[in-house]
Structure 1
């Protein structure tokens, strides 16, 4: 699913409010449906477009300030937030440790 301008605007609005409670806010796109609250999985390392068995220390998302940079694919979109993160390899990618789903966009 491609993020629409309406989704981006809503994500920015939610991020502005969430910035009081979290250090980082991002948008995650995936194939599995989301549930509000703590995410119970972590992302995997990808090499040359292939997923490996190596786990990251959190969940990958696109930084809220970089929503037009990358295009990830999946049927489900959520706003995720957390207090600890690191930058991923893709431009605008963040890896959020102990990520929380704070809103479901699609």
Structure 2
């Protein structure tokens, strides 16, 4: 399944396709068993809790929900906190977030 169907291309790097300095995608794949193993190795055998701050509108809330679902597979319990730009980016500027989903 996809988060934003018919929108863009799969990209696993922070730079867009076509830029001279862009590296090829590394080909990451979801590996829940390996994620759980790494969490246990890091001292979190039962996962942990985090927050995802997200803008309320689409596609941001869709991305946050997808992240929440993927993290849950490895035992990471993510709570989504939605808000306006001022609320979300204010928390970012104050360094009060674990994951932030928003504009550039």
Larger-Rg structure: 2
Query: Would the TM-score normalized by the shorter structure come out above 0.5?
Result: no
Higher helix share: 2
Q: TM-score range by the shorter chain?
A: under 0.3
TM-score (ref. length: structure 2) = 0.25
Higher relative contact order (CA 8 A, sep 6+): 1
Higher strand share: 1
